[in-house]
Chains A and B, each alone.
Chain A
Amino acid sequence: MGRHFTHGLISGIALAALLGSATIATPAGAATLRMAWAQDATGLDPQKQTAFSSLRLLELIYEPLVRLDATLQVVPAIADSWEFAADGLTLTFKLNPKAKFSSGVPVTSEDVKASFARILDEATAAATRANFLSISGMDTPDPTTIVFHLSQPDAPILVAMATINAAIVPAAEITAGTIGTKAIGSGPFKLDQWNPNASEALSPNADWAGGKTGVDGITISVLPDETAILASLRAGQTDFALLNDPLVATLVPDEPNLQLNRVPGLAYNVLQLNPSRKPMDNLQVRQAISCAVNRQEIIDTALVGEGKVTGPLTMPAYASDPNTLFCYTQDVEKAKQLMKDAGFADGFSATVIAATGEPPVASSEAQVLQSQLAAIGIKLDIKMMELNVYVDAWLKGDFDMAVAQNGGRPDPYPMYNRYFTKDGNLLKVSNYVDDTLDGLMQEGRKETDPAKRKEIFAKFEAHLAEMSPWVWLSTSYSYTAQLKTVHGFEPSPTGTLYSLSKVTLDN
């Protein structure tokens, strides 16, 4: 035994020495940012990709007309300036004359027109098309001016344009049918190599209107296990990484050479009830569930303290204080009374679905919810599903309850119109709408005065929480971890890594 062990140790040291020399043997290039993430991008068509990693990659390569800064304000990207007409029916953009694609060709209003025409074309199958249906026509009076004509006032359309799903792609590439195979954009970097589910290599776009990038390139490695990402950061072999799992992210601050960047995101953890199924069709039952849940406790245990209690609206500009919302303080007695009034004094059984590892805390969340709801006699069966199987069931509304993490938007209208308006595309998922919700949504869409909008959506939020079709739980953080030799990264609630364009490395 003893001898075995020493042998093992010696060979271990020898191997570590070997590793050391191997690392020296391949200098990563002094100013190349070595980045890692667990989930790779799934495609290169900016108008069609919706996966988190795809968006993060494509934001480095493409640009939309406008983008959101770290405080969620709309700021210039390809467009220098913009203006709504007084009647709210036209929206005019002035483009940055210096904007160029990585092929060296300038970005013109024709490219913008072609890009939006492509999004609106059903054959493209762009998921964001739904956000732009109010566009009735486009004019290009000169190469740097684009005018959108709207069929109805649509204040949120500007924010809807501030995503990479509304990226401007070269008109010539659309004609050639090479969007998604050749990634030619006007962003800070260009894609040199993509080996799906393994790695990507990016180099600076010399023609980028924003000037020179701080690094000479970015290599991205896909390390599916986040423990391995942490190990790689610790060993100084990765400069910058995206982390998902709070269990891993919270270990980062303990490391002297590492820094954790933590921003509250717009996405929210929620327990979706299905009001089309008994007994969740009963308002009192839904309210009882909302009252029985202790949101802070879920955060403290399942999320290891990483998150904040939230109502339906997660964007700071619109969010109400959660304590003003219906039953946001756990009240088991009230919950029991509601169950009794609804005729379910003895409780009931239901199945809750959750996706394996998406988010990483889904299973723990479901288990805490299960134990909290047991207090009012609700017996939950947890069904963990592979992500895709889950999405399939979710889209069909085939569940009693679902633990979900849904994406947020900087504006309440595009965030919830799909679920809680009468012609929402995902009504089959929410299975709930009433006149109040629909009315407030339509009002909010037309209103352009920020103060009035805030008032409208506060009413919307309070009503939604009271009707409890879903039980909103918490926002979580989005994490990036970096070596302390990396400077200038500015995290954003949207999760964008755009500021990597300004990042510099020591030595």
Chain B
Amino acid sequence: MASEAPRRAMQTGRVRSDGAHDGFLRHNNFQWLKVGASVSLAAILAYLLIDVQPRPNGGSWYGYVLGTVGAGLIVWLTLLGLRKRVMTPGAWSLKAWTSAHVYLGLSLIVIATLHTGFQFGWNVHTLAYVLMMFVILSGIFGVSAYATLPRAMSANRDEMTEAQMLESLRAIDRQLHDAAQPLELRQAELVRSSLEQDPFGGSLWQRLSGNYPDCETRAAQAAVRTENAYKPKLGNDPLEKIDGLLARKEAMLARVRRHLRLKALLEIWLYVHVPLTFALLAALFAHIISVFFYW
């Protein structure tokens, strides 16, 4: 205990953050950004200095070096999929790994582009390159989503969990159901259509855009409002209660849908990033085999 005290004092006296609250982007004072940038810069410099004849291409000695480094990087970057399932702290923590994944993945743009020697065509070689670029672009989208969306998501949730959101919808539905009991069928149908519409339904585009033009709850509320508009407010009309409940449901739905949209944006890139990574691995394999098959 006695030895603990001075250490703690030292820690509190430290100005710099100990890194515990740094995200993977800022990890260890941008260590991997520096590494990635240096690697890219070195690759560009070497490309400019080495005079490959008759023109730069992947089959020159420098092309082989870049190609080997690039292929190794791609395989290593893919391994994040395995590595992420094991969280460990330290210098080789998952955070450090993720940070390296992002910055080395970006440096791959430089390495692979130089490896091509800017020779492109309708062939398996360019296919691998294009797939790689799509994977990297989707990754860039993902990183920017991770950097910006969680804050918006947190603001939207207002400290509600997903289970609470769902339960809240159910509670409103139950109340709507009870309140609609005395209604005649035509009005009851309006409420029922709202109850029966799947709040988690809708197309992928609706999910991503947050626009649900065929929302039954909104339609029901509009219809109920129209019916209520010219009636005196006596306080005992079940429609008035329904009106209030539909308004609450709509507000809740709006929150849920914003949540769904943000979550979809956080997720959608992985549906490109992951399958295309495997397509890229296959194309890379075909690229390497084809080069040595016919050479």
A and B are interacting partners = no
Q: Residues of B at under 8 Å CB distance from A?
A: none
